[in-house]
Structure 1
Amino acid sequence: MAEQGSLYVVATPIGNLADISQRALTTLAEVDFICAEDTRNTGRLLRHFDIATPCIAFHDHNEQQKAAAMVERLVAGQNLALVSDAGTPLINDPGYRLVNLCRSSDIQVIPVPGACAAITALSAAGLPTDRFHYEGFFPAKSHARKQTLEALKEQSATLVFYESPHRIVDTLSDIIEVLGADRQLVLARELTKTFETFASKSAGDMLAWVKSDSDQQKGEIVLMIAGFVKDPDAISGEARQTLSLLSQELPLKKAAALTAQIYQLKKNMLYKLGLEMGL
């Protein structure tokens, strides 16, 4: 019986072909076949590097049907490379079902790392990167976008999104409505390509800039949003409710002191709030 093959998850360039690794080239040349999101795009890459490995179309619309057949080939001893149109497979691209099925079938899955648009953008954005929250593409409809933004409104980590150029103006408008015109953004466009652009501006200034230059409404976009910074003097609704309940049983000064201790707030600020609330 033939030894099982391996699945290689191979990252490819996001624009500049010189970014491909030697390991990726060797892997693509040596595997038995390549599962490609778009065989035409991958075909151009392979021809550029004189690689003749056959390709099989493997994308969102056929992944569920083809994953089992790919595993059968792997079990039979063939080696497979999985690639997306650009960047690292599975990061907002097809491949999850295949990798998951391989793992559950005890087939070795080997990552061949390389470019990823989200990480590339973050590395040069100038926003905090110790914590970041990757969301993929924004929803296409404004209402759903606003719901997404509302859910992330107080997320302190840097937010990372992909966005289509034809929606960028509407998306920036929704960001302003939900997060405010002062929230800091970084827009990274056409990464590693001839017209690579990074812009760091407030949401309000970013919208005005993108509207004024139609070139900024073209190409692949990574949009990063600075995380929420809590106002140290902000008093939450929970703290207000606690102050109100305690003041029914205690003098306001004591109620303010206890609430301040619970929520790590300034007791003088809470005492003043209690007076304003008529407690």
Structure 2
Amino acid sequence: MSKTMNRGQGGEMLMERTLKTQTGNAVIVVGSDGTARLRAETDRVAKIKAAGAAPAQCGPEVPNAPARGAVRISNPRELVPGTTDKYQHAGWQKRSVMHRCDVFDTMRAQALNAHAKVKAKNKEAVFEEPFNAGQVSMARHYAGLHEGLQSGDLRGTSYGERVSGGGGGVDAVVLRLAARQEFEALERKVGRGVAMPMRKVRPSKRGAGRVCKMISDLDAVRAVCLLGLSMSEVLRKYDWTVSSRNSAALRAALRDALDRMQGYGASTTASK
């Protein structure tokens, strides 16, 4: 058995012991608190901690939280007083704002990666957003209404600011009813039919010979906005073949549905 000393990522002194086993050498790491783990397990835990680390530009007060998942950061800006075209960082102590990533952030990141590969071959390629800002905003508003109604907490929605315990507030039950009515009205705008882009996909291209379920517009909206499923995951859920053709048809149907939720007609920029 051999023994070495090493310093961990947090600065603590670690002791590594290499034990010979029938299947080879096993490295055991003993921390300063006496906890012993296999090196593979120690590396796995270290990766989880690193993934949950808060970005430094958001400030040291933000705790590390592995369960938080992926995040994106933004820098709030405000117009410099006395100017018309100059902006300055508006964050407290020049700090960035951290947002939890949702499925729309993930899909945009995937689209950017795919575009980078196309751009390497074709310099004139232009990036097209999977969903425009209005569609993403509506999807998040719809998801926020659902989460608030399910949890009984509407503080994260536009209704939250109107709840008050004083005489000037509106009764929480009334606001919950209003939120429920808005949620149901949005779903009525979506409808329960199947969008043309999905119907245009030939049965032979839908499930590669399997019996697959037709995906209604409301199915797509609920799966993506409420369950956080990607295009590929929705297709698998309904036994469709995952292909660029089917993903594009589903994305077009979802874009049209989100436009209707905003009060617009069918999207004219949906992918074909």
Q: Normalising by the residue count of structure 2, what TM-score does the alignment of the two structures yield?
A: 0.26
Higher relative CO (Cα under 8 Å, sequence separation at least 6) belongs to 1
| TM-score, with length taken from structure 1 | 0.25
